[in-house]
Amino acid sequence: MSDIEELYKSILSEDKKTESDLSVKDIWNIVCEYVSYLWKKKLIIIICGVSFGLLGILYAVTKSIQYTSTYIFSLEGGRGAGSMSSLTSFSSLFGLGGGSMGAFSGDNLVELMKTRAMVERTLLREVPNLEPKMNFMEYCILVDSARVNCTEIEREPGKLTLCDVNFPLNQERKSFTRAQDSFLMAKANDLAEKIEVIKNDKKLSFVTFSFSYADEAFSKKFSDAFVDEVSTFYIDTKTALSRKNIESFERQADSIRKEYDKALSSRAYYADENINAARQVVGVQIQKKQTDIQILGTGYAEMIKNIEVLKLDLAKESPLIQIIQEPHFPLNNDKVGKLRSLIKFGFVGGFLSCFVLCGIYFIKTTMNKEEESNNLPVESKD
């Protein structure tokens, strides 16, 4: 290999090395180049930032505020022995440990609080401390102003609206018309999406319930009624069998008591009628009636004792929701401040404009380099 060929190879290797390696100075020059370009386009960046800032103010003004009412529960249940020992504690039904029982086991009760059925039952309850008296469904329609323009709306023939449908207080659910069912179902589905139930920790018996709505008073009152409805429904369902057993024992006790009273009266009448009789058969009959009285009295006493034991076990095993935190006015809301929205949207607008301008500048410089490389004169082989 000649000296000239070695010189050419060394020059070419140095050129490739300089093209592949990028020093800190080169990076700094590139950054300064882009900063200088952006400074020349500062008017565009300012206009974009101001425009996005104005959009942020418009967003803050027009955004619907959602008020959130939050409950934090400590879920507990009895663990006593007896006829009610098979009942599952309330905390276990939220997936926080313990056994399971039927459709309300595990995490199912958490999902139960999100179901449309519980929301519908709450919507048909009476709103407390409100005049005139109405249920939550009518109260929700009133809050949403759904019947404000009823006189101005041109109604299509055969199509019913909320202007044509009412939900009277204390109307039985079975008597609802098809239109009432449809509107109630739609509203229940909408409210169910605004409910959030979270288990904070599987090892702890704490559950957080949240409900958000555009009206602060409705959010608070509906949350209170919903929590009470779910609690009542659960307790009634879980203790229904035990309460039926107690009622059955009480009816049997009443029957035994009536027979006991009849036996007492029969013995007294028989003794009065044969007060001076000398026959032995009279004493036998009195002894028989006395035996019936003793048997009925003993049975009645045992029945009363069993009823009290059942009631005690029911009290021990009845689930308990201990409210740790409940919502109070004013409720938490997601209101966006105008100044904060202006700064946030303005910053996003300025950043996006810088990003787009840098992209445009990069494409331009790349295309210019390619054109320059294509326009270079080609050296002859000689």
72 and 193 part of one domain: yes
120 and 155 part of one domain: yes
For residue 81, what pLDDT is reported? 40
Please give the Cα distance from 136 to 229 (Å, whole number).
13
For residue 92, what pLDDT is reported? 41
151 and 203 part of one domain: yes
Question: Residue ranges of the chain with pLDDT lower than 50?
Answer: 7, 16-20, 79-106, 380-382
- How is 281-302 classified by DSSP, letter by letter? HHHHHHHHHHHHHHHHHHHHHH
Q: What is the pTM of this model?
A: 0.71
310 and 163 part of one domain: no
For residue 349, what pLDDT is reported? 94
pLDDT in tens, 274-294: 876 667 777 788 888 889 999
What does pLDDT average to over the chain? 82
276 and 183 part of one domain: no
* Number of domains the chain is built from: 3
Asked if residue 89 is part of any domain, the answer here is yes
280 and 136 part of one domain: no
For residue 295, what pLDDT is reported? 93
Asked if residue 42 is part of any domain, the answer here is no
- How is 56-94 classified by DSSP, letter by letter? HHHHHHHSPP-EEEEEEEEEE-----STTTTSPPHHHHT
pLDDT in tens, 103-119: 444 455 677 787 899 99
Asked if residue 17 is part of any domain, the answer here is no
251 and 284 part of one domain: yes
For residue 99, what pLDDT is reported? 40
Asked if residue 60 is part of any domain, the answer here is no
**Token representation of residue 63:** 């955004």
Asked if residue 59 is part of any domain, the answer here is no
Q: Which of 53, 36, 50 is nearest to 357 (CA)?
A: 36
What is the rounded end-to-end Cα distance, in angstroms, of the chain?
19
What residues make up the domain containing 144?
Answer: 67-239+319-333
pLDDT in tens, 167-181: 999 999 999 999 999
255 and 184 part of one domain: no
The DSSP 8-state label assigned to residue 200 in this structure reads S
